[in-house]
């Protein structure tokens, strides 16, 4: 695939990032006076407020703020400090691995399951498998992840006691090595199951619809006419074509993947980015909220870029346009 294709996409991603940075800038500085908001929570004297204002560059005109303070800070990876003096970028950075572990695993499992179910349901349209999985997929799709998490806690943690109710590891008796891994997995199980089932519905429904579209195409009948087995028709021709929209659908769903993760981390008190986000809300930690907003946006932009490049690679109509 041509270098110019990738280059154009990367350029577009940068421009989008720029838009987000500008949007973020105006959002936080023009919708209300940030200093007043901070002062509201922390009882600051007028002098302290002025000092803070100077520190945050808020005493200068907007354009100067943007070019002299905002952008340079960002380029250095400085996302500011929270009220308690913690560095925002460090806070965010530290939490990434845990969230990645939870959300990444869930997304991967959900995609695999959803695609497999969608293929089978779409291929044997109207079968009992199809009808059951359709309703199941729709129901899981319609269930907010945080709610599903609570249901699971009620049944499996509180009532049956099979799994811990919250957390990442046993804080009372910390473990190491292999026992630690098991401990983490034990804590990870319910939240991960929740997210997997919550995400699965979308993938299954999209894959099924995609299969139905491709099965109706002429080339499916044409390949059958060539005298190859039904399984070969499905695996060699239908599935590869049906998979293409999944890539686009996954990216569009990304916002909900993030939201689902936040909800689940909150319900399970899982110490990841999601929990950090909700804590930030409670404490009106503007710098942290700003940092998280930027982080999530950047994640979505990157996901879009990856999907575009992947599509370019996988779909010959784009590759050899």
Partner 1 sequence: MSAVSAPTGERSARQIAWSRRLRAGKASWAIYRTSGIGLAGLAIIVAFVVIALLAPLLANKSGTLITYVAEQHQPHNAPPSLAYPFGTDHFGRSVLTQVIWGARVSLLVGAIATLGALLIGSAIGLSAGFFGGRVDGILMRLTDWFMVIPWLGLALVLAAIMGKGLVSIITVIVITSWAFPARVIRAQSWAVSSRPFVERARAIGSRDSHIIATHILPNSMPIIFTQMVITGASAIYTESLLSFLGMGDPNSVSWGTTLEDAFNQGALTAGHWWQIVFPGMCIILAILALTMIGYAFDQVLNPRLRDR
Partner 2 sequence: MNESVLSLRNVEITYQLRSGPVPAVRGIDLDVPAGSVVGLAGESGCGKSTVGNAILRLLPEETDVTGQILMQGQDILLMKGKELRAVRWGQASIIFQGAMHSLDPVKRIDEQIAEAIQAHDAKITPKATSQRVGELLEMVRLPARRGREYPHQLSGGQKQRVMIAMALACKPALVIADEPTTALDVMVQAQVLDLLRELQAELGLAVVFITHDLSVLTEICDRIAIMYAGKLVEEGDADTIFTQPSHPYTKALGGAFPRIGNLEDRFTPAGLDGDPPLPQAMPSGCAFHPRCPVAFDRCAIEDPERFPTPTGGTAACLLLGETRSRA
What is the rounded CA–CA span in Å between residue 219 and residue 265? 46
| CA gap 130, 122 in Å, rounded | 7
| Residue 77 interacting partner from partner 2, partner 1, none (CB closer than 5 to 8 Å by kind) | none
Choose which of 108, 155, 222, 281 interacts with partner 2 (CB under 8 A): 222
Choices 185-193, 226-234, 237-245, 298-306; region in contact with partner 1 by CB under 8 A: 298-306
At its nearest, how many Å lie between partner 2 and the CB of residue 260? 32
* Shortest Å, Cβ 316 to partner 2: 4
- Identify which range of 33-41, 42-50, 226-234, 296-304 contacts partner 2 by CB under 8 A: 226-234
End-to-end CA distance of the chain: 9
Instruction: Tell me the C-alpha distance between 44 and 83, whole Å.
Output: 12
Residue 218 interface partner, choices partner 2, partner 1, none, CB cut-off 5-8 Å depending on type: partner 2
Confirm or reject binding of residue 124 to partner 2 (CB under 8 A): no
Close Cβ partners of 273 (under 8 Å, ≥ 6 residues apart)? 92, 95, 96, 98, 99, 261, 262, 265, 292, 295
Asked if 313 touches partner 2 (CB under 8 A), the answer is no
- Mark the segment that binds partner 2 (CB under 8 A) among 83-91, 133-141, 148-156, 309-317: 309-317
- By the rule CB under 8 A, 160 interacts with partner 1: no
* Measured torsion, CA atoms of residues 214, 217, 221, 224, in degrees rounded to the nearest 10: -30
Residues in the chain: 321
What six digits make up the tokens of 26? Answer: 């105006």
Task: Give the whole-angstrom CA distance, residue 163 versus residue 154.
Answer: 11
- Residue burial 180-208, b: 16+ Cβ < 10 Å; e: rest: eeebbeebbebbbbbbbbbbbbbbbbbbb
Residues within the interface to partner 1 (CB under 8 A): 12, 16, 19-20, 23, 27-28, 31-32, 37, 125-126, 134, 138-139, 141-144, 146-147, 150-151, 153-154, 157-159, 165, 209, 212-213, 216, 252, 255-256, 258-259, 262-263, 266-267, 277-278, 280-282, 284, 286, 289-290, 292-293, 296-297, 299-301, 304
């Amino acid at each position: 695939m041509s270098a110019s294709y990738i280059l154009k996409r990367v350029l577009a991603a940068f421009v989008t990032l720029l838009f987000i940075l500008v949007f973020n800038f105006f959002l936080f500085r023009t919708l209300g006076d940030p200093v007043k908001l901070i002062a509201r929570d922390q009882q600051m004297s007028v002098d302290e407020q002025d000092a803070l204002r100077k520190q945050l560059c808020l005493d200068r005109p907007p354009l100067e703020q943007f070019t002299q303070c905002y952008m340079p800070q960002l380029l250095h990876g400085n996302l500011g400090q929270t009220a308690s003096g913690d560095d925002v970028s460090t806070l965010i950075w530290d939490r990434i691995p845990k969230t990645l572990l939870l959300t990444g695993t869930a997304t991967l499992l959900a995609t695999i399951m959803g695609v497999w179910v969608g293929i089978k349901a779409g291929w044997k349209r109207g079968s009992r498998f199809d009808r059951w999985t359709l309703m199941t997929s729709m129901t899981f799709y319609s269930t907010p992840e945080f709610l599903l998490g609570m249901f699971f806690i009620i049944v499996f943690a509180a009532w049956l006691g099979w799994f811990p109710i919250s957390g990442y590891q046993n804080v009372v008796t910390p473990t190491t090595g292999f026992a630690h891994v098991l401990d983490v997995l034990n804590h990870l199980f319910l939240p991960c199951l929740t997210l997997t089932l919550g995400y699965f519905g979308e993938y299954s429904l999209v894959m099924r619809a995609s299969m139905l579209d491709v099965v109706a195409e002429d080339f499916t009948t044409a390949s059958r006419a060539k005298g190859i087995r039904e399984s070969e028709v499905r695996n060699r021709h239908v599935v590869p074509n049906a998979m293409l929209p999944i890539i686009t659908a996954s990216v569009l769903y990304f916002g909900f993947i993030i939201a689902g993760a936040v909800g689940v981390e909150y319900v399970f008190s899982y110490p990841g980015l999601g929990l950090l986000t909700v804590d930030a809300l409670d404490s009106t930690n503007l710098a942290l909220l700003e940092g998280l907003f930027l982080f999530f946006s950047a994640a979505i932009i990157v996901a879009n870029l990856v999907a575009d490049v992947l599509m370019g690679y996988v779909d010959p109509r784009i590759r050899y346009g």
